[in-house]
Amino acid sequence: MKTIDVRTGRPYQIYIEHGIIHHAGTYIRMVSAAVRAVIVSDSNVAPIYADAVENSLNESGFETSVFTFEAGEERKRLSTIEKMYEHFYEHNITRTDLIVALGGGVTGDMAGFAAASYLRGIDFVQIPTSLLSQVDSSVGGKTGVDLPTGKNLVGAFWQPILVLIDPDTLQTLPKKFFNDGMGEVIKYGCIRNRNLFERIEQENAADIVDDIIFESVSIKRDVVEHDERDTGERAILNFGHTFGHALEKLNHYSGITHGEAVALGALILTEITEEKGITEKGTSQRIRSLLKKYDMPTETEFSLSEILQATRGDKKSSGNGLSFIFLREIGTCFINKISTDKMKDFFTPSDITG
């Protein structure tokens, strides 16, 4: 077992262990005295893992119920959260009880937000079952839902009390969704870990997935500890996300996964910064080659002007500008804020189509 300590305002531990999902109750009971626990999951994950988690929780003395919602990013809405609240009320969930998020990033984001806001805050545990959620979204305490105008525009910072990562759950992932998680792994290699980037270039990610999870989570832990509330350094974790969220919005949140959009957004931005002499020559080609290796898109039908227009309302906006994360080279990045009136001057290429 690998253990990572997260020293945020409310410290917690991350356990990485094959098969840990079948013993979740034992570990959760170590950090929670709750009487009741609600497992929140989606229609894809619940049929596979909810029984195992519920049985383990029952064996550890928890009274349990399961709330299942229809899978998909399009369900990441306040209307789904309202149904969660109703379930919590009907099952007598109090401020001393517990929410268990079992699933991918959408599940973790929504269950975390419901936990943060119901009765002004109750504890929750993350049990991420997708690569994307294991390497990224389950750690750091960002929770929330989408609005029709943009991703994650409503949410809260609410740290889990425990994260249990079981790499065995990745065996049930369709290849497309394993590759979706690789979009975030590529991001971590780009911004902080050249060695990680080179390993996924040279080796098959599925063969080194334990190391990938540990290295990615360690990077995020370090950044979050320095900037829990996302007011400074944590912005580097948004590399590729400004354009990525825009691409998701333009595609009406279907047809392109979050990880694919982030990776493509990173490629588009790096092509521009490389052309301007900001980023080391050849960097964008290395990113492009990795995207091809893991079967992610390397082109888009939308023009750069359409992508820029779709960044309006992005939650990373502040004052009169938008912060972008630029690479100097693989493994090194910096934050650059571009004012609204200079945006068109900076992004001079007329179209980006790959």
- Which residues have C-beta within 8 Å of that of residue 142, sequence separation ≥ 6? 109, 112, 152, 155, 157, 230
**C-alpha to C-alpha distance for 245 and 265, rounded to whole angstroms:** 8
Phi, psi for 294 (deg, rounded to 5): -105, 25
| Confidence at residue 316, expressed as pLDDT on a 0 to 100 scale | 61
How does residue 350 score in pLDDT terms, banded at 50, 70 and 90?
very low
Q: How confident is the model over 108-166, as pLDDT tens digits? A: 999 999 999 999 999 999 999 999 999 999 999 999 999 988 889 999 999 999 999 99
Quote the pTM value.
0.92
Please say if the pLDDT value at position 300 is more than 50. Answer: yes
Q: Which domains does the chain have, with CATH numbers?
A: 2-172 (3.40.50.1970), 175-346 (1.20.1090.10)
Please say if the pLDDT value at position 295 is more than 70. Answer: yes
Amino acid making up residue 124: F
Highest mean pLDDT among 190-204, 246-260, 338-352: 190-204
164, β-bridge pairs: 15
Element (H, E) at 82: helix 78-90
Return left, alpha or beta for 191; rule: phi > 0 is left, psi -120 to 50 is alpha, else beta: alpha
**C-alpha to C-alpha distance for 306 and 144, rounded to whole angstroms:** 26
Q: How confident is the model over 303-314, as pLDDT tens digits? A: 999 999 898 866
Match 């098959």 to its residue by tokens.
204
How does residue 46 score in pLDDT terms, banded at 50, 70 and 90?
very high
State mean pLDDT over 321-343.
91
| Percentage of the chain exceeding pLDDT 90 | 84
Could you tell me the two tokens for 32? 């929670």
Which range, of 41-50, 68-77, 88-97, 314-323, averages the lowest pLDDT?
A: 314-323
